[in-house]
Amino acid sequence: MYGWIWRHLPGPFAARFLQAALLILVVVALLMFVVFPWVEPLLPIDSGGVTN
């Protein structure tokens, strides 16, 4: 998977490295801002209130 991505990135090593770093940042941002906030309320971690 990662090898496939690496081989399909164009340019010399430095350019590939930068693109790979950018891809990682995009994925992390997607997780932090979209996926985790969505999944968090579904997990029994922390909720401050009492309800009936």
Residues forming contacts to another protein in the complex (CB under 8 A) are 1-4, 28, 31-32, 36, 39-41, 44-52
- Give min distance, CB of 31 to another protein, in A: 6
With respect to another protein, which residue has the nearer C-beta, 17 or 36? 36
With respect to another protein, which residue has the nearer C-beta, 26 or 31? 31
With respect to another protein, which residue has the nearer C-beta, 18 or 24? 24
Tokens standing for residue 41: 């309320």
Check if the beta carbon of residue 20 is closer than 8 Å to that of residue 9: yes
The rounded distance, in Å, linking the Cα atoms of 8 and 26 is 17
